[in-house]
Copies of this chain bind each other. A is one copy, B any other.
Amino acid sequence: MTNAATHVYRGTIVHAPHLGALECAEHAYLVTEGGRIAGIFEELPGKYQNAALEDFGDSLIIPSFTDLHLHAPQYIMMGMGFDLPLLDWLNTYTFKEEARFADADFARTVYEALAAELVRRGTTRVCMFSTLHRKATLILMDALERAGITGYVGKVNMDRNSPDCLRETCEESLAETRRWIEECAGRFPHIKPILTPRFTPSCTDALMEGLGALAAEYDLPVQSHLSENDAEIEWVRELHPDCAQYWETYAKFGLWKQGTIMAHCVHSDTRERAAIRTAGVWVAHSPDSNTNLYSGVAPVRKMLNEGLHVALASDVAGGAKLSMLHAAGEAIRASKLRYYYSGKRQDEAYLTVPEAFYLATSAGQQYFGAGPGFRAGDMLHAVVLSDAAFPPSRRLTPAERLERLIYADDPDTIRAVISEGRRLR
């Protein structure tokens, strides 16, 4: 029954089919057929005995990481400017750097390096902001596609409140977006377009309305930012006195819908969270960024209790690292301090290691239509982690080993990366 497209991977398999619970199988077999997961087996079934087997020994095999929000151009300013708050940081660093992506050659160099580092860090599924430049956006999509990354990329729209070097007219913005959508069609098997108004302060009503129309016309998903920072929220309130809350500035233009991704939601209150849940909007939780730019800590425990879709994001370069191991560690740390400062209230309980792992893998996978954990029938996205170089220890459980690997956040522990059934590394 074996065919050429069957692969068997052997190792200690750890995944999180449910929030807060790990499933572990030591020295077990993960089988794929045509890149799709056939199953996980303690003993290898007879029909797979002759299939190609890759034995990863004592290493852990886990789902690869998903990153639901990051800014590709900000890769060149990763880890810089964090002594400034969000809006000053945007004006002092970010906009100037993003303007450089008018240069296609520069974009190619940066985006190829970014794609390579994503693979090195074990991230195989992304939702990414480009810049407003159509050409550079296509170059980014091409670089990701060639590197084996999958997911969504958005040409950014911004026609107000930004420097001349990084602002379109409304007409240009919509025309370029339409042209970009057309140019994407059929071109990138694994990288799809997503509409990307930068955030409300950057987009006139006319632009928002046009983007809402494009979303409907092409049936495209949407990503943007929501309720990140007090000064930003106040600004949105001034810009939109007609809207009671920030989210409504998206909703009134048809951009608030099933599958819309909103980064941050740090200050989303009960009402805004209810609007998120009801619409089927996804929260891209970016704890490192929210700490670095002292925006605060999102109420993740409440979001999870209320049944919102929440997945982890690096938010490079508000986040300092592409590593989703780092993002998971910072999600736990930020949640512990939120818990601490709430007076250790139960509805603010900190994230456990299995929960952060779920948010960095299973949660995001579902945005891309896969199941949580390693689900039979899904294309395999996996990372192989080795702790062989760690300090000597007693015999550890797979859960303890995963915890150590998360906190170590060491790219050298990533031995192999598989995306959409294809071995990238």
Contacts and interface: CB of A to CB of B under 8 A. Distances in A.
Interface of A: 75-83, 97, 100, 106, 109-110, 113-114, 117, 288, 291-292, 294-297, 320-321, 329-330, 332-334, 336-341, 344, 350, 352-353, 390-394, 396, 400, 403-411
A294 B117 CA distance: 32
Interface centre among A79, A320, A341 (most CB of B within 10 A): A79
In the complex, the 3 A-B pairs of residues with the closest C-beta atoms, listed nearest first:
A79-B407, A320-B407, A341-B341
Main secondary structure of the interface of A (DSSP, over half): helix
A79 B406 contact: yes
Given A321-B408, A341-B341, A80 B110 contact: no
B392 A113 contact: yes
A393 B292 contact: no
Nearest to A408: B79
A391 B82 contact: no
A79 B321 contact: no
Given A78-B391, A393-B76, A404-B78, A333 B83 contact: no
A333 B320 CA distance: 11
A333 B294 CA distance: 8
A407 B337 contact: no
Given A76-B391, A408-B79, A333 B292 contact: yes
A94 to B, nearest CB: 13
Given A78-B390, A109-B392, 19 more contacts: A76-B392, A78-B407, A78-B408, A79-B406, A79-B407, A80-B404, A83-B352, A83-B353, A97-B394, A100-B394, A110-B391, A288-B333, A292-B333, A292-B336, A294-B337, A294-B344, A297-B337, A320-B407, A337-B337
A352 B292 CA distance: 11
B407 A82 contact: yes
A393 B109 CA distance: 11
